[in-house]
């Protein structure tokens, strides 16, 4: 197993530790919340790092193509669900974000069956960046950062929808050609 794939696996292994740290004592222990934030930040950085290493050193594998986006979705969705549990995020926002991920994953599966690889767009990268920033701000949960946290959360939600629309607009032929 190459380094990028090890980083991806490490990210998945970090998720339960993140969840336990964040949800322990209903998220009321500052030290554990800070630990959860640190784990989430490290896991998020491995998401960026594994892709850069894989592309730079030509270490792209089928395992990585499958597991990297899955690990990313597991990390972000776990965090968002925990934040619902802690009363910091409304469920409807998470439903929109998770729905977008299922739709995009479905598109990618159909495209893969047709031998088409659909790369992540800049909108999707901006969406991921703002989602991760918003999650970190919510985990840290400092009153002085409340306005920034709310702004980043709304920006992440808007980018979620924009990236979905952009993705469908650019790749709609995958669905129409697959139906023929």
Per residue in 39-56, pLDDT tens? 999 999 998 899 899 999
State percent of the chain over pLDDT 70: 98
179 has a pLDDT exceeding 70: no
Q: What is residue 82's predicted lDDT score, i.e. its pLDDT?
A: 98
Q: What mean pLDDT is reported for the chain?
A: 93
Predicted confidence (pLDDT) per residue in 63-75, tens digit:
888 899 889 999 9
pLDDT band at 114 (very low <50, low <70, confident <90, very high): confident
- For residues 127-136, average pLDDT: 95
Instruction: For domain 3-178, give the CATH number.
Output: 1.20.120.1760
Q: What is residue 119's predicted lDDT score, i.e. its pLDDT?
A: 76
Residue appearing with tokens 């790749």: 171
The sign of the torsion formed by the CA atoms of 64, 39, 20, 157 equals: negative
Q: DSSP labels for 114-147?
A: TT---PPPHHHHHHHHHHHHHHHHHHH--GGGHH
Let me know: does 75 contact 47? Beta carbons within 8 Å: yes
Domain ranges of the chain: 3-178
Pull the structure tokens for residue 55. 């592309």
State how far the Cα of 92 lies from the Cα of 6, in Å rounded to an integer. Answer: 34
105 has a pLDDT exceeding 90: no
């Amino acid at each position: 197993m190459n380094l990028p794939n090890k980083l991806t696996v490490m990210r998945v292994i970090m998720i339960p530790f993140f969840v336990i740290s964040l949800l322990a004592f209903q998220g009321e222990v500052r030290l554990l919340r800070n630990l959860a934030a640190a784990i989430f930040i490290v896991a998020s950085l491995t998401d960026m790092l594994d892709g850069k290493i894989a592309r730079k050193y030509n270490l792209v594998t089928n395992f990585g193509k499958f597991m990297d986006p899955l690990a990313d979705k597991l990390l972000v969705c776990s965090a968002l669900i925990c934040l619902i549990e802690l009363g910091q995020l409304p469920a409807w926002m998470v439903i929109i974000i998770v729905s977008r991920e299922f739709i995009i994953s479905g598109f990618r599966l159909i495209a893969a069956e047709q031998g088409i690889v659909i790369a992540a767009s800049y909108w999707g990268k901006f969406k991921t960046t703002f989602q991760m920033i918003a999650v970190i701000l919510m985990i840290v949960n400092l009153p002085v950062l409340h306005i920034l946290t709310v702004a980043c959360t709304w920006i992440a939600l808007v980018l979620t929808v924009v990236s979905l629309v952009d993705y469908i607009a650019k790749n709609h032929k995958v669905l129409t050609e697959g139906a023929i």
